């Protein structure tokens, strides 16, 4: 079977540049380092190019694992009921072992965000929980930044048709490819230099916020009056970061955010989402939640409310925050006006918060803190980490100092 870019609607030169950026900027793959790739089967053209660039960079072994939408749906249509409480733990154990041996991790995003929208939400929830539990040993190596890792995207036709429903498939794929290439900076003459400049700008933002040492952020806008306490000894990050294995990588391509860890017990008030959240095949729209003592005590949504509430019941940490991120409303992804139905892109159009697991790297000396120390400083622990958007051109953000005084951080969605 020959997997060609759909109708030649994906520019092969830019696709090759994306593969090169994934290896040289996203991962900064080292000589002799193994690489684990996961991807939808339709993304084989990109996997092949990444594999080529990885071996050219001196990779040890490159191993790819594929998902297939038809096979996933077959499980929901024909699988036994008890199978939804199981996951392939042996596979994730193997991945965790690879990461423990310093393999790099690359995920290609591109699955149809609405794939499971017609399936039984109970089965989807059970499968997600089983998967999250089995994946945790491998995910911890990634979320704790033990290794260099990266996510890039491929314009899967089913995803493209969701983003551009009024276009024929080939045109929708071409449009989505163009948007991915622009957001990933591979439509420029020298993407690698462009990423170096962009990373420097994000570093400046992080440095300013780290210099302020705010104790909390206050978000105010339509349907939002939220105070997010920041973890003790929190540290802001953005763009490229050094993993514990000493390799500097860009985990997310694209990225426009600077982010840190909230205090799991110090979030108060209410907040409304400003974009829909696409989660595991369900669109959750117009989310409204109320926090008390850091915990969501009330949650509503005009669409997908049942799935949202199942997510919140995943475990104790699922109702608390693990991340807060600042993104200007004028970011290139926001300016594109495209709703991607994909968190990797949509979170870079807007300020956002994440339910669930925190990142240990967002603490001063986080690499050397134990789980108990992270918790004592306000870090949250959970099987999930789900970002959703709360920023817009109508949202103001103040930094609150320990003495209660305020510093403008954003006004009408732009850096103040």
Determine, yes or no, domain membership for 190: no
- pTM, two decimal places: 0.87
SS (H, E, C) the chain: CCCCCHHHCCCHHHHHHHHHHHHHHHHCCCCCCCEEEEEEHHHHHHHHHHHHHHHHCCCCCEEEEEECHHHHHHHHHHCCHHHHHCCCHHHHHHHHHHHHCCCEEEEEECCCCCCCCCCCHHHHHHHHHHHHHHHHHHHHHHHCCCCCEEEEECCCHHHHHHHCCCCCHHHHHHHHHHHHHHHCCCCCCCHHHHHHHHHHHHHHHHHHHHHHCCCEEEEEECCEEEEEEECCCECCEECCEECCCCCEECCECCCCCEEECEEEEEEEEEEECCCCEEECCEEEECCEEEEECCEEEEEECCECHHHHHHHHCCCHHHHCEEEEEECCCCCHHHHCCCCCCCHHHHHHHCCEEEEECCCHHHECCHHHCCHHHHHHCCCCCCCCEEEEECCCCCCEEEEECCCCCEEEEEECCEEC
Q: Over the stretch 362-411, which tens digit does the pLDDT of each residue have?
A: 999 988 899 999 999 999 999 899 999 999 999 999 999 999 999 999 99
Whether the pLDDT of residue 5 is over 70: the answer is no
- Does residue 386 share a domain with residue 302? yes
Q: Work out the pLDDT band at 312, boundaries 50, 70, 90.
A: very high
Q: Mean pLDDT over all residues of the chain?
A: 94
Q: Over the stretch 165-201, which tens digit does the pLDDT of each residue have?
A: 999 999 999 999 999 999 999 999 999 999 999 999 9
Last residue in a domain, options 183, 200, 224? 183
Please state, for a pLDDT cut of 90, what percent of the chain lies above it.
88
Determine, yes or no, domain membership for 205: no
Determine, yes or no, domain membership for 196: no
Number of domains in the chain: 2
Q: Work out the pLDDT band at 143, boundaries 50, 70, 90.
A: confident
Determine, yes or no, domain membership for 273: yes
CATH number, domain of 131, equals 3.40.1830.10
Domain span holding position 381: 214-238+251-415
- Does residue 221 share a domain with residue 179? no
Determine, yes or no, domain membership for 193: no
- Does residue 258 share a domain with residue 179? no
- Does residue 101 share a domain with residue 45? yes
């Amino acid at each position: 079977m020959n997997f060609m870019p759909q109708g030649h609607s994906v520019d092969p030169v830019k696709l090759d540049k994306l593969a090169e950026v994934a290896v040289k900027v996203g991962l900064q793959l080292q000589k002799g380092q193994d690489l684990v790739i996961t991807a939808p089967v339709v993304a084989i053209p990109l996997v092949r190019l990444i594999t080529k660039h990885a071996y050219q960079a001196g990779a040890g072994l490159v191993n790819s694992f594929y998902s297939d939408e038809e096979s996933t749906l077959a499980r929901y249509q024909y699988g036994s009921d008890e199978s939804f409480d199981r996951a392939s733990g042996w596979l994730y154990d193997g991945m965790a072992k690879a990461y423990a041996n310093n393999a790099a991790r690359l995920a290609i995003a591109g699955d149809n965000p609405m794939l499971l929208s017609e399936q039984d939400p109970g089965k989807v929830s059970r499968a997600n929980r089983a998967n999250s539990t089995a994946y945790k040993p491998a995910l911890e190596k990634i979320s704790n930044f033990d290794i260099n890792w990266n996510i890039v995207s491929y314009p899967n036709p089913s995803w493209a048709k969701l983003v551009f429903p009024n276009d024929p498939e080939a045109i929708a794929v071409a449009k989505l490819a163009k948007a991915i290439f622009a957001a990933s900076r591979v439509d420029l003459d020298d993407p690698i230099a462009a990423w170096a400049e962009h990373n420097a700008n994000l570093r400046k933002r992080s440095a300013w916020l780290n210099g302020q040492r705010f104790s909390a952020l206050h978000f105010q806008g339509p349907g939002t009056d939220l105070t997010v306490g920041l973890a003790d000894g929190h540290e802001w990050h953005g763009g490229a970061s050094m993993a514990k294995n000493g390799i500097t990588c860009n985990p997310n391509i694209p990225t426009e955010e600077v982010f840190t860890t909230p205090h799991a017990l110090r979030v108060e008030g209410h907040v409304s989402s400003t974009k829909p959240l696409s989660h595991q095949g369900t669109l959750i729209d117009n989310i409204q939640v109320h926090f008390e003592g850091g915990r969501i005590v009330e949650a509503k949504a005009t669409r997908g409310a049942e799935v949202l509430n199942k997510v919140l019941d995943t475990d104790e940490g699922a109702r608390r925050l693990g991340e807060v991120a600042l993104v200007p409303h004028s970011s290139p992804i926001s300016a594109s006006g495209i709703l991607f139905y994909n968190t990797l892109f949509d979170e870079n159009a807007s300020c956002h918060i994440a339910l669930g697991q925190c990142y240990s790297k967002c603490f001063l000396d986080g690499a050397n803190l134990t789980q108990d120390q992270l918790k004592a400083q306000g870090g949250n622990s959970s099987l999930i980490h789900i970002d959703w958007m709360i920023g817009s051109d109508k949202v103001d953000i103040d930094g609150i100092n320990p003495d209660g005084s305020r510093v403008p951080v954003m006004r009408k969605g732009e850096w103040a």
